Structure 1
Amino acid sequence: GQQPALAAGHSLGEYSALVAAGSLSFEQALKLVANRGKYMMEAVPPGLGTMAAIMGLDYGKIEEVLKEVSSGLVQVANWNSDEQIVIAGEKRAVEEAMEKLRAPRAVLLQVSGPFHTKLMSPAAEKLKADLDLVTIKDPAFPVISNYTGKIITTAAEVKESLTKQIVNPVLWYPSMMTADQQGIEVAVEFGPGRVLTGLLKRISRRWPKPPALYNIDDLASLEKVRQAESGG
């Protein structure tokens, strides 16, 4: 089959991208993500933290307002698109932020913790220790880091990205802009649902040449994409 020009994965999906690129083995990734989930659940007591999706405000505006929150820690957790940003932190601080932001639409998410925030620091430390014991390879093709929104090509960058993405926002919008700079013509989302292709459809509508978008979640959809890209 064809080798991708690059790969990216949202949050946990970064591990899938790295397995596809040969940087981690499937077995290594399974153990790491199992521990990652355990460490993140242990980092913050249930009910203390939460997340909220903010629609219709730009990143800069949200960052400025979050600095004014005084009731606890809250920060950007996911920069999903130019019009959808997720904030996370201590529950009372997230609620205060929602009041101050006065966004066109804001929704508290049904999640178990304030992921991708500094509150996850204990989890990041434990995961770093696990990563130090794993043999990580340079990716066979470029992977875009959640942590930087830029391409990473070395094992050292992979380790840094996986450690730091736990306590920093997923920079998905900048990641997709990086993909555009690489001249992608086709984007394929693997797995159930079309959340990421939906985001990319909205992000790329201002690009001179938006990519063709596909989703593969079973053998039938794989064959459909193969036929579409081979001209039938």
Structure 2
Amino acid sequence: MRVLIAEDDRAIAAGVAAALRHGGHAVDLVDDGARADAMLDEHSPYDLLVLDLGLPKLDGSDVLHRLRRRGAEIPVLVITAREGLRERVRILDLGADDYLVKPFALDEFNARVRALLRRVASKGTPELKLGRLRVDLPGQRAWIDETALDLTAREFGVLAALASRVGRLTSRAQLVESLCNWDQELTDNGLDIAVHRLRRKLHGCGTGVRTIRGLGYMLEEGEAGG
């Protein structure tokens, strides 16, 4: 999953980014509201927005209001020092999905993130199945029959990106977009290694990663290769 964090407190931003990356998510960071608004308007490849309210240039409340006015349904977890029932009600009414008051424990933050991603997935297909392969996207788990696959964060990221578009082509650029952070470039060799290792771990299950030469990859039934 890809997450945008809009937070101008460097210590808090670093802490939540590290927690999300440890959980296998790709993370982008911005430290002002105007940049967050621009990224959400121009790119919007995000599965979750973690939003501070007290942002410079454009308040987090305005970022949220503009996001919902554009019709975007991305889940939003607000983190803020502003307390009080009236403030919580205001932010939820603006379209936030959840609300955490600073300071907070990272364990609670991680639990809120998991709950939001499960909620979003449950509106569609919470668990994807293709032959003997099962993929739990929000839980970041996969099985062949009842045996759990031992996947690295990057390998699961490749699998999740392909499984979300099963039967359709996923370009190399789309894979890189879903896997890398702004400050952590993914090389062609790194992507090739992740695809190779994933293909090896799926071997024998009846579902494979097919290479479309010069275009990208596709997850499909059959022991695809190349």
**Do these two structures clear the TM 0.5 threshold for a shared fold by scoring above it?**
no
Q: What is the TM-score normalised by the length of structure 2?
A: 0.28
Which structure is higher in RCO with an 8 Å CA cutoff and minimum separation 6?
1
